[in-house]
Structure 1
Amino acid sequence: MRGAFSIMTKMFYTNKGIDFKTNSLKAELTKNECLSCSNNHELRFSFTVTNRNGEEKTHYRTTNPLSWHHQVKYANKELVDNPAVSALNEWGFNIDGGSIGRVQKVLNAKLKKFHWNSKSLEDVKDSERYKRALGLVESQYGGILSDGKQLAPYQKEGAALMIANQRLFLCFDMGLGKTLTSLVGATANPDNDKILIISMSRNLNDWIREIKVLGLEEEYIQLKNPADLHSSKRIHIVSYEKWSQGRIVFAPIKHESCPTCTSALNFNKSMQYCHICKEKALQQSERYSMDRLPVKCPCCHNEWKNKTLFCECGFTVIKERKKPLSSYFHRGYDAAIVDEGHYLKNGDSQRSKSVVRRVKTKRRTILTGTPAENGSSDLFWQLVWLTGCGSHFEDPLFREPFQGHGKVGEEHFGVYYGGGHAKTLLETDSIQSRVSHQEELWNLLDTLMLRKTKQDKDVNSYIKVPKPKHIRRHLDMIKADKDLYDNILNQFKEWYKQELAKREAAEFRGEKYKINAIQVCSWLTKLRQAASCPWTFEEYKPSKTEQPTKIRYLIDKAKNYLRTGKKMLVFTSHKATAEQLGVLLDEILPGKSAGYIHGSVDMKYRFELMNRFQDPNDNLSILIMTTKTGAESYTLTEARAVFLYDLEFNSKKIEQCYSRAVRWGQHFEVDIHWLISVGTIDANMHGLVLSKQSGVDLAIDRKELDFKEIAKEFEGDEGIEPDEIDYEAFAADMLSSGTKREEIFVS
């Protein structure tokens, strides 16, 4: 014992951790010296990170051993046996036993919460809490629903886990009933007096339909203004658009002349006052809009800058700005359900901020069929909201809980779980899974995620959706198409050489010059269009005797399907291609029509086309959709074939597209045709898509991509016996037939 006498000390707690309080400044200084000397003030550790260039760098950090996080995750001791308490006792501090007991109660509560949050969902299902939750679901919704259907066993499981675990990542495949499951879980819990549901505006009708199926049509309100958030209705449903986006109210249009005497010379446009009539003009009913801005400023008469809302003189076309509904969130909500959770992946977006930073409820559920579209890094902000950044969601580099703001946590999650540096499109000539430390990630997801796919035994035995047949077709371009592609490729190469020359000249002058990444992306888009829809280029010289290979293949296959009475879907990334295909495929067989849908098509007409397509007696047999539009939650199970005319960067968006046909209610095997132009950027896109799919499958579904299956799906190579193939080498060879980076970026 260093002290000659005992120093009275009390243990107390803050929101960050444990501390000790003495009764004098000298004692405080001695206490701090004691904790520092005994390494109970901070612990030092290091970690190594590999940067984008493959170089390893070691970082050094410290952590507080008296923080709540360290105590619940690492200490595993009663506070009376804590090393800090022992060290202080040796230095002559007499810590009040009552204060230790009070802090111990708080720590025990945190430990209990931590241990429950760390339980896997499988362990939760063995608990009494789950059994009670399942009983609630069965008692309220175990019978026949108003639409004549019953809940599937896996839906009851999901609803019960929502009640028992309170935080759930509900990741059912597209078309397996996530909406109904979450409504059952939220409304079967008697503790949920008020429930908030946030979804895309296009999905609100689906939610309302399921609410009516459960007989709750009198208990919901659709939020449209701030006052609605205080409604006594139990279920509050709102679109992402209204929840996250503010609204501009435009001002009435100013008169250019006196509406009474028509005088412009004696009319003050700024004051809207006529000096002849001696009166102020009445306000117009028509208002400004983004499509109806003034030509000249009514105040200073200068030219109005295009698409701006303010003039330099101070005049504005805005009357007022209304805040998004998320600004009026209050703690009166007991549960929140966030639909299409994958849209939270960008932490900087208003959509993500309006949920992660605003919605603070005790019970939280995220719904998505594609939790990670591009890789495991997409999971970060979804997990931030679900976990509330508790101790079970630890930053493995900093050894403290992830932060729900800023960039550091997101970067660390990507580095640790995301598989490191991503390849660019033109570097992609093979399949590489973008995931790392997957077993640790799986342990984390086990505590939150309920994943169900159409091929799971407990699901497929109930819905009986056949597994689709993938056909990956390599197509050789005709000469006219190849000449155009080579021409665009050479233009890209020449542009890049000029940019390199500009950069070298700038470096010679001691200046910096950055090649515009947006222009690079623009060139890549041109290459994608040249590989799939060459007719969109003015310099294209079409062959007089041959159609583009993709068009010819598509028409031949379409005729085969239509002759047997089968309908088909076609997906493309480009609006112009959708329109052109709609014309080319219409009436390729007498009495068989085609229609197209893209973002500019009116919603009413979209649903009219889809209803016609779903009618087996209607002659609308081919529906062409852009991938962005087609990835929405539509049901098109009359399709027996799906053609991916060109590919998107997002692998899961492609899966969402063909899942319009491969979903609950589909009783036939669906053919999925992947059209890939050999020797073009199509092959790079295909490799990129499979790499992303491989990483997501490994992170979420815990399965490796099967090279043997991929190789069997390729078409275009005759005379090869399946048993003679080295499938991994064959798939790699097929994926390496794209445009090489070296063909353009030669420094």
Structure 2
Amino acid sequence: MKLNYTNQGLEFRSDSFDEALLKSECFKTEKIHTENLLSWHYLVTASSDNVTDTKSYKQLRLWGLAPNDGVEVTQNVLNSKRKGYKWDMTPIHYLDGTPQYERALELVKGKFGGPLRDGSTLFPYQIETAAAMIAKGRLLNAFDMGLGKTRTSLAGALADPSNKRFLIITMSRNINDWVREIETLGHEDDYIILQHAGDLKSQKRIHLVSYEKWSADRVKFAKKPQEECPDCGMSHKRAWKSTLGYCYVCKTSHEPYRVNDDGIYIRWSEDDLPEQCPSCKKDWKGRYQCTHCDYTVIESRKKALHTYYHNGYNACIVDEAQYIKNGKSKRALAVQRVKTNKRFALSGTPAENGADDLFWLLGWLTGFTSRFEDPITNKPYKGYGKTGEENFREYFAGGKKRRVLDIDSVEARASHHEQLWGILDTLMVRKKKQDDGVKEHTKVPKPEHHRMHLNLHEAERELYDKFVEEFKEWYELELAKKEAAEARDETYRISTIEICAWMDKLRKAASSPWQYEEYDAKKSKGTTSKLEYTKNKARDLLRRNKKMLIFSGHKNTVEQLGLLLDGVLPGKEAGYIHGGVKMEYRWELMKRFQDPSDPLSILVMSHKTGAESYTLTEAKAVFLYDLDFNPKKIEQCYSRAVRLGQLDKVDVYWLLGVDTIDVNMHGLVLSKASGVDIAIDRKELDFNELAKEFKGDGVGSGPTAIDYEEFASEMLSRGTKREEIA
């Protein structure tokens, strides 16, 4: 009998058929499940130090089958794996004084301990975190927004001489930030921005790529054909052949493709696909290709860069790592393909909605190995399939996945958090602006929050109450259908998409009712409660030369506010940014905003586009015009101003419409935020104290109306059912 080892664990190899039968009988009789007791996970986490002391080996010895060959080699492998596991499970705050950390600290100080190109220096907490990166090899940098995650991670990766080449995956809008920090650290000639498959072979040390290039196929859309003859205007398919650029009526040839005023070809896009096929004129049925005649709107298509990846990197840094929380998304799958020995993730908000957001992020960092164990099965997570993710959610995130209206009460959405902290202690460095060791260096003043309860004007209230009644009628009907189905022992699910659509309608009605034809603007003299408050506050701020940011979740609201607030005070301008604004124009607006002498003093941005990556420290006030269901998204919004470089206290104004969904959402946001704060920052909100802040002047409009303010206050103080929604 010989003892071998494989990637999965130990293996007892028989020398004869009789020996194999006897071994099988031994394991079956003694009820030894070899896939568990001989796995590396079991051996490094639960067994004794010596291979010969394992249950499997002892039973084989009793049966006269104890192997002698291969024991010493296997023992050495096990010792090595156990040593690595113990180091992996060492909390980061215990690294100080270890040889590995002291060596890493010397490497960082030796390379980046002095002044950098721009005259600045690394803060002590940045040096310590960079050293922890080198010592640990796997780390989640969860610095608060604006504390220098980019510079710190670059310092750690560049100070490690074993990193001959490393990959950085980030958002396209962040590429310039990384390039700037690379140049500040003196490596401007040692990086490449990956654009094509051949770039992966570059010998430059730093390979920088956007999520978009790394994970998405590179599609080049085709030119738009002329839909009619430029001479006679004929468009019938028998008269005008758009594919040929020839008119059979006037017998003339023309440029078959459309061009803009600058002579550049106009192309199809993801958001602008044809309603009718330009070739056969039938209704467009396919996505990119006509199902009738095979006409395609795609000129060329290349695979995503991650499909060309075959090792070659010593380390990988994933920026904005919260984007891989959905393991089935293209971004997450592309990141999971990177299996470097050293892995680092950056995110100021690693869990945005609850502890379950951490599953795929921690899984990629650990490689789904023994250090990342399913608490229900006591086995390593497989890294795929639904079971592991569901187990993680049930165990650490307070239960199964919940929908918008399934929240029973305001409570922290986290559980078994002490065990979760144990995992995070081994992987995560968390720094907040007000932490000791940070605030004395960054000097970012703590923001002051103002929750403004605003009574809706007459026209707003009429519209909002109308939508609420319609929503109630719809939901009551859905509940009746569900009860009837249950009486028949059938299953009926109320559409979550429909619920969210109603929620979105109520959000818009409470903040920007002008989007609806039913809104009678004359009754409110052309303004709304939030717009009126914002204008008055803006004039006061701008008179004192204080710039301001405004955030909204709706594109239409963003645009309208940008136009309505432009010139609210003579000589002061307003601009807006949402997903449809070109990147170069965004950078121009932000550059102007950051210039104290520039008249651009109000910048309106969408939650999605404006919440990340931008530094806008000239802002001295932030207005949350409406809320997002994601609490960390809201925190990211005002962190554009509250970050490194901000010298003044920033006022944050939460605009909440009295008796509207705003107050409901505020309670939900606090519920989510508390779960995240427990999981990540180990602090819990005092709901009884917070409840006192949300009691406004609103009064319910009658026995059938929903008094959202009273509901939210009750929900915050002791937790109430959402039965009132029906």
TM-score after normalising by structure 2 = 0.89
CA contact (8 A) 1:680 1:737 kept: no
In 1: Cα distance, 2:572 partner to 2:515 partner: 26
Aligned residue in 1 for 2:550: 570
CA contact (8 A) 2:409 2:720 kept: no
Instruction: For residues 555-607 of structure 1, give each alpha carbon's deviation from its aligned partner in whole angstroms, at most 9, with x where no partner exists.
Output: 23223322322221111111222222223323333323322222222323222
Question: 1:437 — aligned with what?
Answer: 416
The answer on whether the counterparts of 1:506 and 1:513 sit within 8 Å (CA) in structure 2 is yes
Contact 1:683 1:736 in 2 (8 A): no
8 Å contact from structure 2 (residues 445, 647) kept in 1: yes
- 1:646: how far off? 0.8
Q: Show the 5 A alignment for 1:484-495.
A: 484-495=463-474
Alpha-carbon spacing, 1:184–1:524, altered in 2? closer, same or farther (3 Å): same
Matches within 5 A, 1:576-591: 576-591=556-571
1:334 maps to: 314
CA distance in 1, matches of 2:601, 2:243: 59
For residue 138 of structure 1, give the secondary structure of its aligned residue in structure 2. Answer: helix
Q: Does residue 592 in structure 1 map to residue 563 in structure 2?
A: no
1:12-31 Cα offsets, whole Å, 9 max, x none, are 22221122222333332321
Aligned counterpart for 1:19 among listed residues 11, 20, 26: 11
5 Å-filtered alignment, 1:454-533, equals 454-499=433-478, 514-533=493-512
TM-score (norm 1): 0.86
Q: Find the aligned partners of 2:673 and 2:487 in 1 and give their Cα distance.
A: 44
Residues 124 and 130, structure 1, Cα contact 8 Å, conserved in 2: yes
The answer on whether the counterparts of 2:408 and 2:722 sit within 8 Å (CA) in structure 1 is no
Alignment partners' CA distance in 1, 2:55 and 2:582? 69
Q: Is 1:398 aligned to 2:369, yes or no?
A: no
- Quick check: 303-312 or 524-533, which moved more? 303-312
| Corresponding residue for residue 102 of structure 1 | 73
**SS, match of residue 197 in structure 1:** strand
In structure 2, distance between residues paired with 1:365 and 1:38: 44
Give per-residue Cα distances to partners, 1:122-172, cap 9 Å, x unaligned: 222221111111111111111111101011111111111111111111111
Relative to structure 2, which stretch is displaced further, 684-693 or 589-598?
589-598
| Residue 685 of structure 2 corresponds to residue 705 of structure 1 | yes
Total equivalences in the alignment: 698
Give % identity: 53
Distance 2:468 2:630 in 1: 23
> How far 1:462 moved relative to its partner?
0.3
Match of 1:234 in 2: 205
Contact 1:471 / 1:714 at 8 angstroms: preserved in 2?
no
Aligned position for 1:131: 102
Q: Could you list the per-position Cα deviations for residues 371-392 of structure 1 after superposition, in whole angstroms to 9, with x for gaps in the alignment?
A: 1101111111111111111211
Amino acid at match of 1:479: E
Correspondence for 1:183 among 154, 157, 171: 154
CA distance in 1, matches of 2:156, 2:357: 26
Greater mean deviation of Cα atoms: 225-234 or 680-689:
680-689
Q: Which moved more, 1:438-447 or 1:572-581?
A: 572-581
Is residue 561 from structure 1 mapped to residue 541 from structure 2 by the alignment? yes
Letter in 1 for 2:181: E
Give ranges in structure 2 of 5+ residues lacking alignment: 259-264, 699-709
Alignment partners' CA distance in 2, 1:538 and 1:738: 37
Q: Which whole-Å CA distance do the structure 2 matches of 1:362 and 1:37 have between them?
A: 41
* 1:284-319 alpha-carbon deviations (Å, 9 max, x no partner): 796862346594464x66444375423234443434
> What does 1:340-739 correspond to in 2, within 5 Å?
340-356=320-336, 358-421=337-400, 424-426=403-405, 431-499=410-478, 514-542=493-521, 544=523, 547-707=527-687, 710=690, 716=696, 732-733=713-714, 735=716
Deviation at 1:510, TM superposition (A): 9.1
**Correspondence 1:232-381 to 2 at 5 A:** 232-250=203-221, 289-290=268-269, 291=272, 293=274, 295-296=276-277, 298=279, 302-305=282-285, 307-356=287-336, 358-381=337-360
Q: Is the 8 A contact 1:41 1:64 kept in 2?
A: yes
For residue 56 of structure 1, what is the aligned residue in structure 2? none
Residue number in structure 1 paired with 2:31: 39
CA displacement at 1:530 relative to structure 2: 1.4
Match of 2:186 among 195, 215, 219: 215
Amino acid at match of 2:309: F
- TM superposition shift of 1:499: 4.1
- Could you tell which deviates more after superposition, 612-621 or 154-163? 612-621
Quickly say closer, same or farther: Cα 1:255–1:616, change in 2 above 3 A: closer
Correspondence for 1:6 = none
The secondary structure found in structure 2 opposite 1:92 is coil
Compared CA separation, residues 322 and 459, structure 1 to 2 (3 A) = same
Q: 1:615 to 1:731 in 2, by over 3 A?
A: same
Quote how far apart the aligned CAs of 1:552 are: 2.6
Q: Which whole-Å CA distance do the structure 2 matches of 1:738 and 1:578 have between them? A: 34
Q: Any idea what the Cα deviations from partners look like across 1:497-533, whole Å, max 9, x if unmatched? A: 4445666787899986544321221111111111222
Separation in 1, partners of 2:357, 2:283: 45
Q: Once the two structures are superposed, what CA deviation does each residue of 1:691-742 show, in whole Å capped at 9, x if it has no partner?
A: 1111111101111114476357558579xxxxxxxxxx99954847999843
Query: What is the DSSP-based 3-state SS (H/G/I as helix, E as strand, rest coil) of the residue aligned with 2:673?
Result: helix
Output the amino acid matched with 1:214: L
Residue aligned with 2:163, SS: coil
Distance verdict in 2 for CA 1:19–1:508, change over 3 Å: same
Q: Which residue of 1 aligns with 2:43?
A: 71
Deviations 1:663-685 (A, max 9, x none): 01111111111111222211111
User: CA shift at 1:272, angstroms?
Assistant: 10
Secondary structure of the 2:3 match is strand
CA shift in 2, pair 1:645/1:17, >3 Å: same
Output the CA distance in 1 between the equivalents of 2:672 and 2:228.
61
Shift of the 302–571 alpha-carbon distance from structure 1 to 2, 3 Å rule, reads closer
Which of 81, 89, 92 pairs up with 2:61? 89
Judge conservation of contact 1:678–1:738 (CA < 8 Å) in 2.
no
SS of residue paired to 1:151: coil
Any conservation in 1 of the 2:511–2:626 contact (CA below 8 Å)?
A: yes
Where 1:236 maps in the other structure, the secondary structure is strand
Correspondence for 2:703: none
Letter in 1 for 2:353: N
